[in-house]
Structure 1
Amino acid sequence: MTLRLGDVAPDFTQQSSAGEISFHAWAGESWVVLFSHPADFTPVCTTELGKTARLAEEFKKRNVKPLAVSVDTLESHVAWINDINETQNTSVNFPILADADRKVAELYDMIHPNSLANLTVRSVFVIDPAKKIRLTLTYPASTGRNFNEILRVIDSLQLTDHHKVATPADWVDGDDVVIIPSLQDADEIAQRFPKGYKAIRPYLRLTPQPNR
């Protein structure tokens, strides 16, 4: 199944390390980062889930729930969590879906036979409170994810959902943003951006981040 930006994230019910999860109900009014890893007890995956656990407060302040998934069994996840906690000096505080029947992997097209024949690739789905898919990323098995980039994109999405701006290349929270080209009414611009803006081109207008 090919999922595209703006699609409703498929619902499912699956067992996890934190009990049975009915996805849409579990997500509630939160954002979700649903991410797959190839296999338990592997080095890169261990560092990734450890990093996710250490970022708990960063996810919480953005109203984000992380949710990991692989085709390993529940018993494997439970045993692996002990290794993650010990080797990564953390405490896993989010569910890991046990997708041994590949239900979630198939719904979200996480198995790419030309990359990994029987395992989930490193997919990432950022899903908003309306259950819409807002970001998709796929990494090769040998490359661990940059979770700071995932947080950066969530910051951008949450900002641009509420203000008529977009974020330029390499933007991070607190940097200047750009006023969207479709906003041309001078009175509305003055109201929305009281700190003013710098017009480099008619279509490229930089302004301080409006929620700061």
Structure 2
Amino acid sequence: MTIQLGQTAPDFRQESTHGEIRFHEWLGSSWGLLFSHPKNFTPVCTTELGEVARLRPEWDRRDVKPIGLSVDPVEAHHKWEADIEETQKARPDFPMIADPAAKVSALYGMIHPESDPVLTVRSLFVIDPSKKIRLILTYPPSTGRNFHEVLRAIDSLQLTDTRSIATPANWSPGEPVVISPKLSDEEAKRQFPQGYRTLKPYLRLVDLETSIR
């Protein structure tokens, strides 16, 4: 199964370190971060789970619920959590899905046909409160995921969902944003009375600090 942006995230019921998860029900009205690992007790993923745990205040500030997944059973997840706490000084406080039959992995297209058929690839999905998939990232085994980039992308998604704007390359919160080309100059002036800069008719930049309502 191929998952694409804008599709509804597939629902599922699966065991986890926090008990049975009914995914859509568990998400509720929050954003979700679903990320997979090839297997337990792997070095790169150990550092990633520790980082997600350390970033708990940032997920909470954005109303994002993180949830991990591996093909190993729940018992192995709990043992891995102890290793993560020992080596990373942070214990995961979010659920880790046990997917030994690769049910969820197949549902989300996490197993690459050219890869080991029993291991998930390192995929990451950001899901919005309407259960739509908004971001998909897949990393190679040798490269740890940059969760600060994930936070930046979520900031962009949450900001642009409420305004007729987009965020430019390398954008960080507080920096100028791009006004949608769909807005006429008249409408842009109405929505952004503080003024904006026109570099080209299709490229207009605005500082939002004084205009967020």
Task: Report the more deviating stretch, 44-53 or 202-211.
Answer: 202-211
Which residue in the other structure is 2:52 paired with? 52
- Letter aligned with residue 156 of structure 2: S
Which residue in the other structure is 1:175 paired with? 175
Q: Deviations over 1:120-140 (max 9, x none)?
A: 111011000000000111111
Secondary structure of the equivalent of 2:80?
helix
Which residue in the other structure is 2:68 paired with? 68
Task: Write the distance in 2 (CA, Å) between the matches of 1:16 and 1:163.
Answer: 37
Give the fraction of aligned pairs with identical amino acids, expressed as a percent.
59
Task: Report the more deviating stretch, 132-141 or 107-116.
Answer: 107-116
- Letter aligned with residue 211 of structure 1: I
Task: Write the distance in 2 (CA, Å) between the matches of 1:211 and 1:89.
Answer: 38
Which residue in the other structure is 2:195 paired with? 196
Task: Write the distance in 1 (CA, Å) between the matches of 2:8 and 2:58.
Answer: 25
Structure 1 moving runs of 4+ over 3 Å: none
The equivalences for 1:75-94 within 5 A come to 75-94=75-94
- Letter aligned with residue 45 of structure 1: C
Is 1:207 equivalent to 2:168 in the alignment?
Answer: no
* RMSD over aligned Cα atoms: 1.1
How far is 1:192 from its partner?
Answer: 1.7
Is 1:149 equivalent to 2:145 in the alignment?
Answer: no
Task: Write the distance in 1 (CA, Å) between the matches of 2:113 and 2:141.
Answer: 13
How far is 1:191 from its partner?
Answer: 2.9
Task: Write the distance in 2 (CA, Å) between the matches of 1:179 and 1:96.
Answer: 39
Which residue in the other structure is 1:10 paired with? 10
How far is 1:185 from its partner?
Answer: 4.9
Q: Deviations over 1:136-162 (max 9, x none)?
A: 111111111000111111001001100
Whether the aligned pair in 1 keeps the contact of 2:102 and 2:118 (CA below 8 Å) is no
Q: TM-score by structure 2 length?
A: 0.96
Q: TM-score by structure 1 length?
A: 0.97
- Letter aligned with residue 195 of structure 1: Q
Number of residue pairs the alignment of both structures matches: 211
Task: Write the distance in 2 (CA, Å) between the matches of 1:87 and 1:191.
Answer: 53
